[in-house]
Homo-oligomer: A and B are copies of this chain.
Amino acid sequence: MNIHKRIQNAALHPKIMPAAQAASLIPLGANVGMSGFTGAGYPKAVPQALAARLSALHAAGQTHASINLWTGASTAPELDGVLAKAHGIQMRLPYQSDPSCRQQINAGQMRYTDMHLSHVAPMARAGFLGTLDVAVVEVVGILPDGRMMASTSVGNNQTWLDLAQHIILEVNLHQNPALEGMHDMAHNMPMPPHGQPIALTHPSERIGTPYLQADLSKVMAVVITDHPDRNSAFDAPNEVSAQIAGHLIDFLQDEVQAGRLPPSLLPLQSGVGNTANAVLAGLNQGPFDQMTAYTEVLQDGMLDMLRSGKLSCASATALSLSPTALAEFNANIDFYRQRIVLRPEEISNHPELIRRLGVIAMNTMIEADIYGNVNSTHIMGSAIMNGIGGSGDFARNARLSIFMSPSVAKGGKISSIVPMVSHHDHTEHDVHIIVTEQGLADLRGLAPTQRARLIVERCAHPSFRPQLLDYMDRAQRSGAGLHTPHLLDEALSWHSRYLKTGQM
Contacts and interface: CB of A to CB of B under 8 A. Distances in A.
Contact of A192 (B111, B115, B266, B425): B266
Nearest to A104: B482
Contact of A113 (B112, B423, B446, B489): B446
Interface in A402-450: 422-425, 427, 429-430, 432, 444-447, 449-450
A486 B193 CA distance: 40
A445 B266 contact: no
A111 B424 contact: no
Interface string A125-160: 011111000000000000000000000000000000
A380 B423 contact: no
Contacts of A93: 445
B384 A481 contact: yes
Interface in A95-138: 105-108, 111-116, 119, 122-123, 126-130
A476 B106 CA distance: 10
A60 interface: no
A113 B445 contact: yes
A106 B445 contact: no
Interface in A248-304: 258-260, 262, 266-267
Contact of A193 (B127, B262, B355, B450): B262
Interface range, A side: 35 or more
**How many copies of this chain?**
2
A396 interface: yes
Contact of A480 (B266, B381, B493): B381
Given A381-B480, A491-B492, A424 B427 contact: yes
A198 B197 contact: yes
A426 B113 CA distance: 16
Contact of A488 (B380, B432, B444, B450): B380
B260 A128 contact: yes
Nearest to A197: B197
A226 interface: no
Interface string A191-213: 11101111101100000000000
A358 interface: yes
Interface string A369-401: 000010000111111100010001000110100
B356 A484 contact: no
A260 B126 contact: yes
A499 interface: yes
A215 interface: no
Nearest to A191: B358
7 contacts: A123-B444, A130-B445, A191-B358, A195-B357, A382-B484, A384-B481, A491-B492
Given A127-B259, A195-B356, A352-B356, 13 more contacts: A105-B482, A113-B446, A123-B445, A128-B260, A192-B266, A379-B481, A381-B484, A383-B480, A384-B484, A392-B396, A396-B396, A427-B427, A492-B492
